[in-house]
Amino acid sequence: MLGKMAAPVLEHGEDAFRKLFRFYKRRNPPPDFSQVIDFSKRVDDERVFATELDHSSLGEVAACSAGLRPVKEWRAFGLQAHPGFIFISNPFLPGSQRYWIKQCLKAYPQKPNVCNLDMHMSSTETENIWEKSVESIRKKGKREPRTLLEKLRWVTLGYHYNWDTKTYSADHYSPFPPDLHTLSQTVAAACGFPGFQAEAGILNYYRSDSSLGIHVDESELDHTLPLLSFSFGQTAVFLLGGTKRQDPPTAMFMRSGDLMVMSGSSRLLYHAVPCILPAPACQPLPSCLDQRLEKQPVSEDLIQDVSEEDWAVCSRYLQTSRVNMTVRQVLGPGQTLPTTQPLVGAVSESRSGYHDESEEAAQNVKKRKNESGSEVDC
Ligand code: OGA
Ligand code: MN
């Protein structure tokens, strides 16, 4: 393809992951995405196999109440190279993604949950992030300063992850949102993990120039339990590697509504998000977000309708953003967390070599590096 970089040939060797990460992160010339698996299309790829989930594990009523299609309609896939990894191509009912998106933007950033802005702002300044941002987002011209919502990078739920020590602790906890707990338990049950307890959540907010560095999620105490990931908004490239940095990763698109389950031997694999794809000019939002709920929710339903007013803000925000929720069970049976050890040194805003930003956001990166002293890991 003229003007595009071909995917690098990967030998087993040093830093195969880093090489591919940089390849997809690059903007000029744009990378060739032809090796990226696209689960939204008919998949005819020897790296991929279709997988049947156990339909009996989740009733249609429970699925529907959580805004999900019946399990028998889910398009679920596995990857030959990564046993235990499950990719489910947007199992949400029309309109129901809007609810989770609104929760990520309006509800979950609120106290007592913790977000990146708390690291250098007072609690009154970071109160009501949504209310402080909506007016400006609604009327936004290009040159307005960024709103708090647009400065949001991460929110932690339940046991709040400590980016510096890479640990959870018993005394840094707030109640996990019950709606997201139910969604997580529902999805986990359909994937063969009944009784999953959502105990910690990390929400990541990506602008079009953001990326997430190469890492393994190993801070949870029980690694036999799955890690769930929900994607909304703009499409990202996800890289899933092996247990070593030298193992060549598999690239796939994560589109709005897609779910990923890292379970079994895929639970501790290296992974990263090297780039967010720019929205096509003709379609600023993925078409699955155009729809409203087909049936009016009843009050017992988990999913509730999102007002046109709130959706106007969410949809404007998502034209240049992606939101991802990862949900983890931290403790296995009988396990407990220690309480926090007194911390020496400052608390960092960045994900300590984990959250990553592009050169275009250099100013921001510089500021973050100055504040946190951390380097990006890629
Ligand atoms: C994470 C993670 C992936 C994503 O938060 O640990 O890997 O798509 N997120 O944001
Ligand atoms: Mn991760």
pLDDT, one tens digit per residue, over 72-82 is: 999 999 999 99
* Ligand 1 closest atom vs CA 206: 10
* Ligand lying closest to the C-alpha of residue 325: 1
Instruction: Write the pLDDT tens digit of every residue in 274-298.
Output: 999 999 999 999 999 999 998 888 8
Return the CATH class of domain 4-368: mainly beta
Residue type, 53: L
Neighbours of ion ligand 2 (CB under 5 A): 217
Is 50 exceeded by the pLDDT of residue 360? no
| pLDDT number for residue 374 | 32
Report the range of poorest mean pLDDT among 304-313, 321-330, 347-356.
Answer: 347-356
| pLDDT number for residue 351 | 56
Ligand 1 centroid to residue 269 C-alpha, Å? 12
Is 90 exceeded by the pLDDT of residue 2? no
| pLDDT number for residue 300 | 87
- Average pLDDT (337-344) is 75
Is 90 exceeded by the pLDDT of residue 17? yes
Ligand 2 centroid to residue 100 C-alpha, Å? 20
Instruction: Write the pLDDT tens digit of every residue in 225-270.
Output: 999 999 999 999 999 999 999 999 999 999 999 999 999 999 999 9
Ligand 2 centroid to residue 295 C-alpha, Å? 34
Strands 250-254 and 227-233: unpaired
Taking CA atoms only, the protein residue closest to ligand 1 atom 1 is 326
* Ligand 1 closest atom vs CA 227: 6
Residue 354's pLDDT band, with cuts at 50, 70 and 90, is: low
C-alpha span between 227 and 327 (Å, rounded)? 6
| pLDDT number for residue 337 | 95
- Average pLDDT (171-195) is 97
| pLDDT number for residue 361 | 39
Is 50 exceeded by the pLDDT of residue 137? yes
Is 50 exceeded by the pLDDT of residue 377? no
Taking CA atoms only, the protein residue closest to ligand 1 atom 8 is 324
Spatial CB neighbours of 98, under 8 Å, sequence gap ≥ 6: 289, 292, 293, 306, 311, 314
| pLDDT number for residue 306 | 96
Ligand 2 centroid to residue 276 C-alpha, Å? 16
| pLDDT number for residue 209 | 95
Residue bearing tokens 């990967």: 10
| pLDDT number for residue 343 | 57
Residue type, 310: D
Ligand 1: residue of 254, 273, 377 to mutate (most ligand atoms within 8 A of CB) is 273
* Helix or strand holding residue 312 (H, E): helix 308-318
* Ligand lying closest to the C-alpha of residue 206: 1
C-alpha span between 154 and 114 (Å, rounded)? 8
| pLDDT number for residue 213 | 97
C-alpha span between 183 and 193 (Å, rounded)? 13
* Helix or strand holding residue 148 (H, E): helix 148-151
Ligand 1: residue of 203, 204, 205 to mutate (most ligand atoms within 8 A of CB) is 204
Average pLDDT, the chain: 89
Share of the chain above pLDDT 90, in %: 79
Is 60 exceeded by the pLDDT of residue 198? yes
* Helix or strand holding residue 118 (H, E): none
Ligand 2 centroid to residue 245 C-alpha, Å? 15
| pLDDT number for residue 232 | 98
Ligand 1 centroid to residue 324 C-alpha, Å? 7
Name all residues whose Cβ lies below 6 A of ligand 1.
202, 204, 212, 217, 229, 271, 273, 324, 326
CB contact at 8 A, 223 and 84:
no
Ligand 1 centroid to residue 274 C-alpha, Å? 11
Ligand 2 centroid to residue 239 C-alpha, Å? 11
Is 70 exceeded by the pLDDT of residue 154? yes
| pLDDT number for residue 297 | 86
Ligand 1: residue of 326, 355, 357 to mutate (most ligand atoms within 8 A of CB) is 326
